[in-house]
Structure 1
Amino acid sequence: MRRAALAVFAASFGIYLFSSAPALAPYRDMGEMVSVSHTLGVAHPPGYPAYALAGKIASLVPLANKSYRVNLLSVLGGAAACAIFFLILIELGLPVALCLLSCVLWQASSSFWIISIVTEMYSLSLAAGMLILYLWLLWERKNDAVFIALLGFAGGLALGIRLDIVLLGPAVFLMVFGRLWKEKRSQVVPMAGWAVAFAVLGFSVFLFLLIRSKTGPLLNWSRPETVDRLLAILMRKSHGGTLDLLSQNYAPGELFWTDMRIYFLQVLKETFWIGIPLALAGLHGLWNEKRRVLYFTVLAWAFSGPFFIYKANMPPNPHALAVLEAHFNLSKAFVYVWIAYGLFAGFRRISEGIWKKAALAVIFPLAFLGLSVSWAQVSKRQNYFGYDYGKNVLKTLPPDSILIMKKDVQLFIFWALQYAEGMRRDVSVVAHGLAGSPWYIQNKVQEGISVKLGPLRSSGEYADFIKLNSGSPIFSGWDHDVPSHADFVQIPFGLLRRLAPALSRDKIPVAPDFLKDFYAKRGRLNYGDQNEFFSADLIDDYSKGHFAREEWDHSIALNSENPSPYYRRGFQSLMKEDYEGALKDFGIAERLYSKTLQQTREFHSLPGVAEGIKGEWAQVLLSMGVAYEKTGRREESERAYLRALEIFPALAQAHYNLSVLYWNRDWNRVVTHLTEALKIDPNHALAAKFLPQALYAQRRSR
């Protein structure tokens, strides 16, 4: 069986390696993990010390670039998880053929595959979870105390990869010590002592954070150089303002059933809609034959799946869902154990001979079809988006520039290229969300960066930052909005914008057209063609760069799902009196805003997001009404204005435009809309100017 397990490992390793990215691929914290591994630094809370140490070893492998080397850890973790999964099924008594079939089914899971080919800690954590299940099964069969010690050590050490492995704790505790209490009550305390001792030994990997932080590494998140600070990052108290805290905007459990629906649909789709029935068959088979295995896996699933999802309480928007789906994998591994046992139970009901062979002949190709489908969805073999994005920016920045970035992927790309690959160390990269944190400011001083840092939440704080750092060219990415201020201007600069004092605008040379003529653009840069959020989000930054230069066609070509460039192109046509062209673009923008608003409901977005979309949509309808009015289509114009007010009642200009439409036709309506316009906007000059005339005309018409 060991040879078969090694074969599963080798095959899985080969598949994942062949489909992994050749360089820095866009995925959540990938750039930070590369940087932390190369510099042996301290990552964001809870620090991930075991991953950092393993990553450092991987970064020393003399192969390709640093990002690729660290990514091998994920490939290794995915392959190890598959091999241990195979051994688990052998331990449960499944024949080799069904074990291999089940491994292929699990390996073809797109959510499992993606975490095995991106530079994150998820696949290693999943392998640790499978190891804990396997060690428990061995203890169940052999009843040897050494496995209790190994369970404790593996669990403690695995916490240094990801803390959510603790969710398997209730299953291990209840199933180990429940049995000891029943069979050998006198052994409970000694065995618990050994388990705790070895768990503490494994957990001692967190002392690395305390020791390493005192030496002042380049990346030293929250500086856990004291016991109090170490405890704070373990509890994630110093990791505020991140996507993880988005759930605090919702009532506890508000999104539980929405997220669970997504969870089960994902299992069904990945298993060609036979997964849930097979899992139920597997649960029935375990109830009849291996009830303790049933108890363990159900407990482990309940805590790592539904309980975690309840506590996470994340809205199902593309960004949050991309993060949440990675966490699904630990609990889904137990679902695939049930699926495997369901297959086993089903095949035992089929008599030997041609029918069993026929069933295998159907299911094996189905499993390999799943591999093929997942390959097309998740492969990053040709994904250079992250690497090219970072290189494109760095090679165009002036010497000693300051670069402000906000989103994790965009920010961490530059960390990886600077700290791991050694590119453009003269550029000072500022983390927008950390710029006001004392520990971050201390890190930058220690690094020798002379940037004067402070919070960047308001336009005034941006103005102060620009003033304090006026000796360096300052740039900001399109990954976040920079509020406008009279003291500084924002000048498009390819994938960036330059932030400069307003008085110096005329002295700044015009930047070359980097987007068209200079940037490397490997791969298909099309927002709608991407199967995952993070690559699409990078491509959207290129689209925003063209948008800022008023290059509407190029912006639309990169992201045809964004209504804004259609509206701007339509408005440009309106100004040129090309009313039909304007109406065509306004119509597309109107449909896209309608779709976007519907998505805010599906994604359970916060109210402010929906209101912002309604305001933009109403502006489209307002311009559409003007275009209809210019072409003499008064009824369509009226409908557009009224629809704008239906969507966004606080639009004073729509009331004014309706008053113009009704002028000399219905003075009552004219007065009503001019009055409403002034209620909404008392400073509306035209409404104030014409209301007295309308009132006079209204009186005369009586």
Structure 2
Amino acid sequence: MTIKLFFYLQDEIIMEDKKLNRYIAAFVFIASGLVYYLTMSGTVVFWDVGEFIAASVLLQVPHPPGSPLFILLGRIASMIPYFADVAARVHAISALASALTVMFLYLVSVKVIQKFRGMPVTNLDRFIIYGSSALGALSLAFSGTFWFNATEAEVYGLSILFVAIIMWLAFRWWDVSEEPHNEKYMLLIAYLIGLSVGVHLLAVLAIFPVLMLVYFRRYEFNRKTAIRFSLIALAIFFVIYPGVVQLMPSMLDGEFKGFKSELLPFIPPLLIIAAGYGIYRSKQTGHKMVQVACLAFLFIVLGYTTYILVLMRANVDNLPMNENAPSDMAGLVSYLGREQYGDTPLLKGESWSNEQQTFVTKYFPRRWSPEAMHQPTRENYTSDTDFLLRYQIYHMFVRYVLWNFVGAEGDWQDAGVSLKPTWGIPLLLALFGLYYHFKKDWKIALTFIVMFLIMGVILALYQNQQDPQPRERDYFYVGAYYVLAMWIGIGLVGVIDLLRNKLKKDEKNSNAVVYGVLFLGLIVLPVNYLRINWHERDRSENYIAWDYSYNILQSCEPNGILFTNGDNDTFPLWYLQDVEGVRRDVRIVNLSLVNTSWYIRQLKNSTPHGALKVPISLSDVEISRIQPRVWKPRELDIPVSKELFSKFLMTDQPQQLNDSLVDSTVLREGKITFKLNGVPYQRDVNVLRVQDIMVHNIIMANRWERPIHFAVTCSPDSKIGLDDYLWMQGLTYKLKPFKIGQNQMGIDYKIMEEQLFAENVQPSKEPQRGYLFRNLNNPNVYYDENVQRMIMNYRFNFIRLAEYASRTEKNPEKARSILARMEYLMPLDVNPISDPRLMSYIMNFFIQVNDTLNFEKYAVKLEEIAKKSLDENKIDSQDPFFSYRTLVEIYDARKDYASALEILRRAAAQYPNVPDLMDRIQAYEQKLKEPLTQDTIRNQ
């Protein structure tokens, strides 16, 4: 009777524990989900998000290697009207997935702690285990990178959810591994791994920690079994990747590692049949492991079949987004292999040699990229090993870990680490948690160490990233952050156990330690993370991507052809056209994608949403053969008939143009002439990229029939030398047969004024002038460095317009009103300018137009920057006198001649051999002797 009562009470305790555990798991899910809901972007954002949303809504084909499962889920989400904005509906997938990840991390943490600490017996034990696990999980929830991923429609939130579920299932299997039918958890893991490939490959890496758990649960640890199981784990991984993911589609196309045969397409079906037979045979013979292995293989293949969607949709006519056009098995193989991005050498290839000053073949190449953007940084490193350690491991991984668990120095590209945000407490707790975990349960600890290394360091080495990158890549390593967050929870348990052991005889204080540590943990972990990250991660009122993309499209004339530069001036535009129907008449030509033959063919042959085809004179066969070519700089012509020129004069003449400034070549010879230089490739050798060839071809084939625009974000070399004929019309330059004269501003003043000064603009799907500037003056909305660069393009518009009013129209009052509107829409204190030179230029402009108030806004900030630069002896190598000159300009405008003189004398002491300095010193000494005849500019 006593024994029965004992087991009954024990079962009751376990049931109560399960309920409490589930309640806390639900709380963790709701708390994190609520934060994500409140801070989630309400519409499209920059980078790949616009592409993914547009692909989801219309079931399109995004960039390789694709994410068909994410696209399917996005399609479903887009049809559920729980938000008015379609983009927000797709964002919600990431918010939900991230909140679920936090919940599953909590559940895994509880299981991991219970493995070395045992099931909780008292309420205090429950408080320790569940409280520490919850704090660790919430630390991940509110860390910078994870939170960022949770608020936008990207694949990383969903991919880490697959990892979290797989790890939870692995521990669930551990608990029931001696029970019948326990293999169902492993089969579910296999299916999830297959499904996850349709989102991102991160979850495939979870194979290694899962198999380690199987090994430690089923086998005795020794050198022999460890080596054997490691080889088995590697074999299983390679069966999945590249086996199932890449090689099976390749064989279906009749090719295997360069070997072609008509028999190869039969191998994948035969493998599936063989697996089915293996299941049947092993069931008869009782070989359970063979049965599970065959079933797992089939479940992985079944999950992977989401890629059928890619093949199906790639065959749809006029699909607006059909990247790589993988309409057959050959195309799918190329798509899966990311062939448009080129090969990244891993084990052997060419890499830069400092000694030989050229590329040499070597093992484990690191500095392999020949691209121009990577040339300046090559010799910042003494060797490939130096590059690997300092850039690829520290800068591109360790720095991100420190960002999330110590603190970031700022939001700018390549920002360093700062102790201020968290005092390093999360990282210290995680490291102590690693130590304590290894001490208490080295097998499970080793499993998570391997998981951290594979999803962190090894992943960084595999990617072989080059310096510089177009953006920060912290989002790649959420799997490593997941492990560290779990160790934070274990670290709290370790701290509590350590302190309680020291207070064994003092039960009251021992209990107080538990509550005290967990309360402090609550404050310094999730609460502090919320404090430091909320403003930067709150994107609920951020409309910059929508508005900026809308403004670019509305800068184009009807049926225009728009050349764009990269992700941020392309993907959000695709979203507006595909999802919201804005300016579908404009054909976007992305200058990165136009280097590929499939994209050129689509531009030439497709009519998305009924838009006109892009004029291209090449045949499809010629397009398939197009390659970069060596180029000798030369002058080229674009014909302009007299009829066309007369038409432009009547309908499209820039306001400032007069007959005396018309290029005589156009009138006399019927053409405009420009010099096409190409881009430098090697010493004394230039090349024409495919994009240069296609820009020229499109312009020639167009014959001035449709407007041609270049986004202001296009680099100078992408304009193929046509700068003298590109007139600014806001966020685009329009190609015209009018040459910009030496004394001209090159802007369409009337159009730009209409764009920048329109009031109460309501978005329109049709051509309409008037830009949107929503919330750019709202101090509660955070704009990161990338967005600030976009806002700079607005500022350049206002500055160019003000320059025209001041210099051409001789109207300083008008210039003043233009600059005042700029400051009203995007004030300096809300949207700071990172370039002091530009700040100085704008400040001096305010001086010219006598705008005292705005002058002082800039002067105060510039004065602080310049003084700090001089005090810290930070001299600009390009302009060593910048700080001195800026301070003198500020003090001169204020009529503070004494301060100006002090700065000049300081400069003369440092640069005694500059004769102009002595002249200026004497001039200011003379000014000080003269009585002031007017108030200082500060008091006007």
Shared fold (TM-score greater than 0.5)?
yes
| C-alpha contact 1:50 1:157 (8 A) present in aligned 2 | yes
Structure 2: segments with no counterpart, 5+ residues: 1-20, 115-127, 230-286, 345-368, 379-383, 408-420, 501-506, 617-622, 624-687, 759-769, 804-817, 850-854, 890-896, 919-940
The alpha carbon displacement at 1:154 in A equals 1.1
Matches within 5 A, 1:444-483: 444=603, 445-448=605-608, 449-452=612-615, 462-469=695-702, 470-483=704-717
| C-alpha contact 1:527 1:559 (8 A) present in aligned 2 | no
Q: Name the SS of the counterpart of 1:95 in structure 2.
A: helix
Range with greater deviation from structure 2 (77-86 or 396-405) = 396-405
The alpha carbon displacement at 1:509 in A equals 8.0
Q: What is the aligned partner in structure 1 of residue 457 from structure 2?
A: 306
1:677-701 CA-partner distances (Å, limit 9, x unpaired): xxxxxxxxxxxxxxxxxxxxxxxxx
Q: What is the aligned partner in structure 2 of residue 343 from structure 1?
A: 492
Q: What is the aligned partner in structure 2 of residue 695 from structure 1?
A: none
Q: Name the SS of the counterpart of 2:736 in structure 1.
A: strand
Structure 1: segments with no counterpart, 5+ residues: 602-612, 644-654, 663-702
Range with greater deviation from structure 2 (211-220 or 485-494) = 485-494
| C-alpha contact 1:105 1:370 (8 A) present in aligned 2 | yes
| Alignment counterpart, residue 137 of structure 2, candidates 95, 103, 106 | 103
1:333-362 CA-partner distances (Å, limit 9, x unpaired): 001111111112222343542222222332
Q: What is the aligned partner in structure 1 of residue 444 from structure 2?
A: 293
Output the CA distance in 2 between the equivalents of 1:501 and 1:619.
Answer: 41
CA 1:511–1:137 in 2, change beyond 3 Å: closer, same or farther? same
Task: Name the aligned partner's letter for residue 268 of structure 1.
Answer: V
Q: What is the aligned partner in structure 1 of residue 522 from structure 2?
A: 364
CA 1:659–1:223 in 2, change beyond 3 Å: closer, same or farther? farther
Residue 150 in structure 1 maps to residue 188 in structure 2:
yes
Q: What is the aligned partner in structure 1 of residue 563 from structure 2?
A: 404
Residue 223 in structure 1 maps to residue 325 in structure 2:
yes
1:353-404 CA-partner distances (Å, limit 9, x unpaired): 2222222332223332322332122111111111122233334532212222
Output the CA distance in 1 between the equivalents of 2:131 and 2:915.
Answer: 77
CA 1:458–1:589 in 2, change beyond 3 Å: closer, same or farther? farther
CA 1:191–1:459 in 2, change beyond 3 Å: closer, same or farther? closer
| C-alpha contact 2:788 2:833 (8 A) present in aligned 1 | no
1:386-431 CA-partner distances (Å, limit 9, x unpaired): 1122233334532212222223122111111110111111111221
Q: Name the SS of the counterpart of 1:498 in structure 2.
A: strand
| Alignment counterpart, residue 119 of structure 1, candidates 141, 149, 153 | 153
Task: Name the aligned partner's letter for residue 347 of structure 1.
Answer: I
Q: What is the aligned partner in structure 2 of residue 561 from structure 1?
A: 834
What is the alpha-carbon root mean square deviation over aligned residues?
4.5
Q: Name the SS of the counterpart of 1:275 in structure 2.
A: helix
| C-alpha contact 1:247 1:312 (8 A) present in aligned 2 | no
CA 1:507–1:361 in 2, change beyond 3 Å: closer, same or farther? closer
Residue 258 in structure 1 maps to residue 292 in structure 2:
no
Output the CA distance in 1 between the equivalents of 2:695 and 2:877.
Answer: 28
Task: Name the aligned partner's letter for residue 234 of structure 1.
Answer: L
The alpha carbon displacement at 1:290 in A equals 2.9
Residue 160 in structure 1 maps to residue 198 in structure 2:
yes
| Alignment counterpart, residue 579 of structure 2, candidates 403, 411, 420 | 420
Output the CA distance in 1 between the equivalents of 2:328 and 2:881.
Answer: 54
The alpha carbon displacement at 1:68 in A equals 1.0
Output the CA distance in 1 between the equivalents of 2:771 and 2:747.
Answer: 25
1:155-213 CA-partner distances (Å, limit 9, x unpaired): 12112111233333333344435755659997554433333222222122223212321
Output the CA distance in 2 between the equivalents of 1:528 and 1:14.
Answer: 19
Q: What is the aligned partner in structure 2 of residue 490 from structure 1?
A: 726
Q: What is the aligned partner in structure 2 of residue 698 from structure 1?
A: none
The alpha carbon displacement at 1:233 in A equals 2.2
Output the CA distance in 2 between the equivalents of 1:268 and 1:620.
Answer: 35
Output the CA distance in 2 between the equivalents of 1:99 and 1:622.
Answer: 55
Output the CA distance in 2 between the equivalents of 1:567 and 1:226.
Answer: 57
Q: What is the aligned partner in structure 2 of residue 136 from structure 1?
A: 170
Q: What is the aligned partner in structure 2 of residue 668 from structure 1?
A: none
Output the CA distance in 1 between the equivalents of 2:328 and 2:94.
Answer: 31
Q: Name the SS of the counterpart of 1:429 in structure 2.
A: strand
The alpha carbon displacement at 1:97 in A equals 2.6
Residue 85 in structure 1 maps to residue 321 in structure 2:
no
| C-alpha contact 2:28 2:138 (8 A) present in aligned 1 | no
CA 1:392–1:148 in 2, change beyond 3 Å: closer, same or farther? same
| C-alpha contact 1:148 1:195 (8 A) present in aligned 2 | yes
| C-alpha contact 2:37 2:95 (8 A) present in aligned 1 | yes
Task: Name the aligned partner's letter for residue 213 of structure 1.
Answer: A
Q: What is the aligned partner in structure 1 of residue 75 from structure 2?
A: 56
| C-alpha contact 2:712 2:731 (8 A) present in aligned 1 | yes
The alpha carbon displacement at 1:331 in A equals 0.9
Residue 500 in structure 1 maps to residue 705 in structure 2:
no
Residue 355 in structure 1 maps to residue 355 in structure 2:
no
1:591-641 CA-partner distances (Å, limit 9, x unpaired): 78x98xx9xx9xxxxxxxxxxx966x48979999x99xxx999x979989x
Residue 37 in structure 1 maps to residue 56 in structure 2:
yes
What TM-score does the superposition give when structure 2 sets the normalisation length?
Answer: 0.59
Output the CA distance in 2 between the equivalents of 1:68 and 1:125.
Answer: 19
Output the CA distance in 2 between the equivalents of 1:660 and 1:160.
Answer: 67
| C-alpha contact 1:21 1:383 (8 A) present in aligned 2 | yes
Aligned length: 628
CA 1:27–1:314 in 2, change beyond 3 Å: closer, same or farther? farther
Output the CA distance in 2 between the equivalents of 1:472 and 1:456.
Answer: 24
| C-alpha contact 1:175 1:296 (8 A) present in aligned 2 | yes
What TM-score does the superposition give when structure 1 sets the normalisation length?
Answer: 0.77
Q: What is the aligned partner in structure 1 of residue 362 from structure 2?
A: none
Residue 211 in structure 1 maps to residue 445 in structure 2:
no
Q: What is the aligned partner in structure 1 of residue 280 from structure 2?
A: none
The alpha carbon displacement at 1:28 in A equals 1.9
| C-alpha contact 1:318 1:533 (8 A) present in aligned 2 | no
Higher RCO (C-alpha 8 Å, min separation 6): 1
1:425-450 CA-partner distances (Å, limit 9, x unpaired): 11112212112422112333223541
Output the CA distance in 1 between the equivalents of 2:722 and 2:796.
Answer: 23
The alpha carbon displacement at 1:488 in A equals 5.1
Q: What is the aligned partner in structure 2 of residue 606 from structure 1?
A: none
Q: What is the aligned partner in structure 2 of residue 532 from structure 1?
A: 784
| Alignment counterpart, residue 394 of structure 1, candidates 547, 553, 569 | 553
Task: Name the aligned partner's letter for residue 321 of structure 2.
Answer: L
Q: Name the SS of the counterpart of 2:139 in structure 1.
A: helix
CA 1:456–1:38 in 2, change beyond 3 Å: closer, same or farther? farther
Range with greater deviation from structure 2 (415-424 or 99-108) = 99-108
Output the CA distance in 2 between the equivalents of 1:456 and 1:107.
Answer: 45
Q: Name the SS of the counterpart of 2:725 in structure 1.
A: strand
| C-alpha contact 2:561 2:709 (8 A) present in aligned 1 | yes
Q: What is the aligned partner in structure 1 of residue 263 from structure 2?
A: none
Residue 74 in structure 1 maps to residue 128 in structure 2:
no
Range with greater deviation from structure 2 (500-509 or 402-411) = 500-509
Q: Name the SS of the counterpart of 1:353 in structure 2.
A: helix
| C-alpha contact 1:463 1:487 (8 A) present in aligned 2 | no
Matches within 5 A, 1:173-188: 173-176=211-214, 180=218, 188=289
Could you tell me the percent identity over the aligned residues?
Answer: 22
Output the CA distance in 2 between the equivalents of 1:574 and 1:357.
Answer: 61
| C-alpha contact 1:44 1:239 (8 A) present in aligned 2 | no
The alpha carbon displacement at 1:315 in A equals 6.7
| C-alpha contact 2:591 2:691 (8 A) present in aligned 1 | no
Output the CA distance in 2 between the equivalents of 1:372 and 1:482.
Answer: 42
| C-alpha contact 2:561 2:708 (8 A) present in aligned 1 | yes
Q: Which has more helix, going by share of residues?
A: 1
Q: Name the SS of the counterpart of 2:570 in structure 1.
A: helix
| C-alpha contact 1:477 1:495 (8 A) present in aligned 2 | yes
Q: What is the aligned partner in structure 2 of residue 194 from structure 1?
A: 295
Task: Name the aligned partner's letter for residue 402 of structure 2.
Answer: F
Task: Name the aligned partner's letter for residue 293 of structure 1.
Answer: I
The alpha carbon displacement at 1:107 in A equals 1.6
